[in-house]
């Protein structure tokens, strides 16, 4: 085990990473869900549905349990280039960015659709 391995597994490093995620994730999500290169929330939802992830999307918009999405599924929908560009823009490893987005996207969509439907301006 090298120094970097022990550093990555240390509670202090994980704490710093958690703080970084807490600071950057809202900005990254707004970039993905906003009217940026992905076309906004409605466009993301449409892409997810077209990719066969309609059940997950329905669970996020509906009032029940949010079904998960994997980092790989999200990366396929958004496109590797988009994920790579976002990771570079925010100086986050690609795998970490995809993983965090996959964890946070269901909640973000759920919160953006409190009445069980997407807002018209999304």
Q: Which residue has the tokens 């704490």?
A: 15
- pLDDT higher than threshold 90 for residue 41: no
Closest to 38 measured CA to CA, from 48, 23, 53: 48
pLDDT attached to residue 26: 65
pTM: 0.69
**Domains parsed from the chain with CATH numbers:** 27-112 (1.10.10.690)
Higher-pLDDT residue of 39, 13: 39
Q: φ, ψ for residue 31 (rounded to 5)? A: -65, -45
pLDDT tens profile 70-113: 999 988 988 888 888 888 887 888 888 888 888 888 888 888 88
Amino acid 66: pLDDT: 92
Q: CB neighbours (10 Å) of residue 2? A: 7
For 52-75, write each residue's pLDDT tens digit. 999 999 999 888 899 999 999 988
């Amino acid at each position: 085990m090298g120094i970097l391995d022990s550093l990555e597994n240390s509670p202090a490093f994980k704490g710093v990473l958690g703080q970084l995620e807490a600071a950057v994730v809202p900005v990254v999500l707004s970039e993905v869900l906003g009217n940026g290169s992905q076309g906004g929330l409605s466009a993301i939802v449409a892409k997810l549905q077209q990719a066969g992830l309609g059940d997950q999307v329905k669970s996020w918009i509906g009032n029940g349990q949010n079904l998960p999405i994997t980092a790989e599924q999200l990366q396929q929908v958004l496109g590797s280039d988009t994920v790579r560009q976002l990771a570079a823009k925010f100086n986050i490893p690609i795998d970490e960015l995809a993983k965090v987005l996959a964890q946070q996207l269901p909640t973000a969509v759920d919160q953006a659709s409190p009445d069980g439907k997407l807002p018209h301006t999304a």
